[in-house]
Amino acid sequence: MVGSVGVPGAKFEVSVPYDEFDWTSASLREDFAAVVLAENVTGKEIVDTIFPHAVTEPDEDGENTSEREAYMANVLAIYESCMTERTKHHLGFPFNLDFDYGVLSRLQNFYINNCGDPFIESSYAVHSRKFEVGVLEWFARLWEIENHEYWGYITNGGTEGNFHGILLGREAFPNGILYASEDSHYSVFKAARMYRMKCVKVNTLISGEIDYADFKAKLLHNKNNPAVVNVNIGTTVKGGVDNLDLVIETLKTIGFSEDRFYIHCDGALFGLMMPFVKHAPKISFKKPIGSISVSGHKFVGCPMPCGVQITRLDHINALSRNVEYIGSRDATITGGRSGHAPIYLWYALNHKGYCGIQKEVQLCLTNAQYLKDRLRAEGIGAMLNEFSNIVVFERPQNEDLIHKWQLACQGNIAHIVVMPNVTIEKLDDFLNDLIQKRSTWSGKGKVQPICISIDVGKENCACQRHSCDGL
């Protein structure tokens, strides 16, 4: 196999061909991966140098099978080492990486497809519908809806859950207008384009939650059309939670009766967390909402993107179609769906239970407060919304640091999502790294914090002007 070990411009150099390098040495693989990532080599260089990605044809006579298998094993071994190293420095995205599903590895030998309706048997017998329904019933209890009143399915992630919920709203009100705050996930506006729905973007407060006065004004402007409303149970960047009760009250005050609006709750991350937070607003089907979606790979923690979508059974009939080919009814976005994801979710929920999840939620909130307090103590502007595990702070002026810790950035701010796998020790490692590099940004040994008051409010800004105002 062609290629040699070494990264352009990096300190790690080995003058041997790629296929002669001792990839069997775990420590050597890890050292190489760490150096590559620390050197911040571009993605293409990493792919071209470490991961020979071209698919080549095996020899016709098959004589080099063992050599080929060894080559592929080597590529995967160094890839695994790089993924291990990247996982150590993962703070900016809401994925729970604290999981172990080794006991389920044998199921990789089966092609499990949950096509059709989870509650109706299909012609395809290799499925996991019983697991899927078990997970759905768990979430139905969490969000307070009786088994005979709901319908749902395991999706491929939060985006699909939003697509499905908004589609149900569109089908219920073909001439309805979609209302979503400007801090809503991009999938909401993508759904509006796909479904050719008129979409009204509503302003947001500093916290990231919807601006209720602006929402009211825009409803009044279009009061003759039914309303399809996306309510954020935790916004992507700031973790702002829309007040569901106030949204409903605003609709009714203007004259929207319950038969003239549909509410979809995007609870990708917080939809699972909020029920376990004391004094947090309740997200419940006892209120006039149409659907809730949550991501399974976020707070639960799964090795593949997945999610849960729950709606009222009455709404699903508009989408349902009998499909003779599969011998079932279908009302999903994708049709065929992963049968493995429901099993992973079922296993995780059984393993943790309500008590286990509650402990993880409290740990995340405590650690998020610790991070925010440490940042402010160092003179760094930072904000943490109530009921949130997302800490928003000044965007580091060092792209290598952003890349290393995989921070999610928007304009002058960045954020860290404190998930169950993010320990105090990991936060301290990040803070020490940030503080050390921060001292070099100005070139004068003292950093003047940038003003982020427009993003997080004056009280959370540490710039010279607003820190003095707070004295």
Measure the CA angle with vertex 207, ends 157 and 446; round to 5°.
Answer: 105
The residues that bridge with 414 in the sheet, in sequence order, are 393, 409
Q: Which of 386, 367, 409 is nearest to 239 (CA)?
A: 386
Residue pair 77/29 in contact (Cβ under 8 Å)? The answer is yes
Q: Which of 152, 173, 166 is nearest to 313 (CA)?
A: 152
Residue pair 265/283 in contact (Cβ under 8 Å)? The answer is yes
**Contacts of 328 by beta carbon, 8 Å cutoff, 6+ apart:** 115, 116, 117, 120, 121, 122, 123, 322
| Separation CA 221–CA 223 (nearest Å) | 6
Which stretches of 104-185 are DSSP H helices?
A: 129-142, 158-172
Cα within 13 Å of Cα(242), Cβ side:
33
Q: Which of 162, 223, 224, 218 is nearest to 195 (CA)?
A: 162
388 is catalytic: yes
The residues that bridge with 136 in the sheet, in sequence order, are none
Which tokens is 39 given? Answer: 């050197």
| CA trace torsion 158, 162, 164, 165 (10° rounding) | 130
Q: Which of 159, 225, 223 is nearest to 197 (CA)?
A: 225
From the candidates 388, 442, 453, 467, which is the catalytic residue? 388
Catalytic residues: 388
